[in-house]
Amino acid sequence: MKNATLVAAMLAVTLTATASPALAKKRPIVAATVKTIQKVDTDNSRTISASEFSAAGGADTTFAKIDANANGQIGFFELLMAYVYKALAARAGN
């Protein structure tokens, strides 16, 4: 239940932030996600391919972990959740 609540809350924040760049500035994780996609997405597809990820210095194993639906692309929500999990792990001291 907690995971569903977290996902719903992040989805609401993300959808709002996507519609409002000003809100993204107030949400560092959302802003970091947007910045990363803008930087790494060289073909402007709004997703990150395995080759783009590798070209940016990312490891294949990391790409596979972030690509939750295993479609060969990292989308906004997949990258956002990777940042969220990283932040939660840092708070927990892991």
CATH among 1.10.287, 1.10.238, 1.10.3210, 3.40.390 for 2-92? 1.10.238
User: Splitting the chain (94 residues) into consecutive groups of 10 residues, what average pLDDT does each group show?
Assistant: 55 52 72 92 96 96 96 95 91 81
Stated pTM of the model: 0.71
| Rounded Cα–Cα distance for residues 71 and 73 (Å) | 6
Q: How far is CA 37 from the centre of its chain?
A: 8
Residue 19: per-residue pLDDT: 47
**Which residues are CB-contacts of 18 (< 8 A; sequence separation ≥ 6)?**
24, 76
Q: Where are the domains of the chain?
A: 2-92
